């Protein structure tokens, strides 16, 4: 990200993801997908499905957004979340933003998104994201930050924030 000073001021650090972040990112994905825990089956089968879904997400992002940038969000040197963005030709896309359960509801997502908005404001570029219909909490946060619904389907909405001026 172009400007992480405001995020760092709150004790948050948004740093590029490293190879050794894999186990954390996998466990974060699992925590962010409680729906996968509802699968009726043996624990090892459920864990295998979670691992496959994580791989599908990573592969899909890599294919659709080969230049995406992957970050780990830390608080006091402890990984608490992840952010994936793509700087497209006409917009910055927030592809993935998730936090461990203990870090949710503390305003960290808002701070990270405000950092993305500040970077976008500097280059006069909109920020876009897709929010799934089963995640009304995330939708509410994006709308509170000034994002607007641009496209709507039964499964998801595309939200966009435009820089001012």
Q: In what order do the strands lie in the sheet containing 12-16?
A: 12-16, 69-75, 78-87, 92-99, 127-132, 156-161, 148-152
Decide if pLDDT at 3 tops 50.
no
| Residue 91 Cα to chain centre, angstroms | 16
Residue 100: predicted pLDDT: 94
Decide if pLDDT at 116 tops 60.
yes
The 10 Å Cβ neighbour count of residue 132 is 11
State pLDDT tens for residues 42-87: 767 667 666 666 676 676 666 788 999 999 999 999 999 999 999 9
State pLDDT tens for residues 128-154: 999 989 889 899 999 999 999 999 999
* Residue for token pair 């954390």: 24
């Amino acid at each position: 990200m172009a400007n992480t000073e405001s995020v760092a001021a709150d004790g948050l650090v948004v740093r590029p993801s490293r190879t050794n972040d894999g186990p954390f990112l996998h466990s974060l994905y699992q925590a962010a997908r409680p729906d996968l825990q509802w699968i009726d089956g043996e624990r090892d089968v459920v864990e295998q499905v979670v691992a496959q879904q994580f791989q599908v997400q990573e592969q899909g992002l890599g294919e659709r957004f080969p230049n995406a940038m992957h970050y780990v969000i830390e608080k006091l040197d402890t990984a608490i979340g992840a952010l994936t963005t793509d700087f497209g030709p006409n917009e910055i896309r927030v592809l993935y933003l998730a936090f461990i359960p203990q870090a949710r509801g503390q305003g960290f997502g808002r701070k990270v998104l405000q950092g993305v908005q500040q970077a976008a404001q500097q280059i006069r570029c909109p920020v876009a994201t897709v929010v799934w219909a089963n995640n009304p909490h995330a939708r509410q946060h994006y709308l509170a930050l000034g994002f607007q619904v641009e496209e709507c389907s039964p499964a998801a909405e595309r939200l966009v924030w435009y820089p001012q001026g």
